[in-house]
Structure 1
Amino acid sequence: MKAHVTVMLKNGVLDPQGEAVRHALGALGFEGVRGVRQGKVIELDLADGATEADVKAMCERLLANTVIESYRIEM
């Protein structure tokens, strides 16, 4: 079974990488981009019997810094 975890900075947390991408897009002529938030996607190949609760525990303990990041799990 596969799980996809999307980790993003929480709203209100400055995203310097996203801002650099927005600026670069503007320099390339893509003027309609008002904002960019950059995150990461983690794909987990899980053993049979793994649950969403297991993946949530992985996120809470390692995959996301829950102080400044939020995450979404897709099984």
Structure 2
Amino acid sequence: MNNPIFTKKDLEFIQRIFDGRCQLLQLDPTSPEAQQIAGQIFELFGQGVKQEHEILARLRFPCNRNTAYASGSELRRI
């Protein structure tokens, strides 16, 4: 990441995506898994990915804490 400057609007957008992922995955926002997701969201946004659906499609996160990672488009609720 190239040390981008985030506006208040950017941070609110990023927070909304993060909160939604944590809720969907039932993650504590302070957990290591959630922090990995936060880092990915900031990295994607900093790389110029500005559409929510594009960020969600590119996110990689654990399906559960004991399995390999899956992309956002591969997540299926059981």
Q: Normalised by the size of structure 2, how large is the TM-score?
A: 0.31
Higher fraction of strand? 1
Larger Rg: 1
Structure with the larger helix share: 2
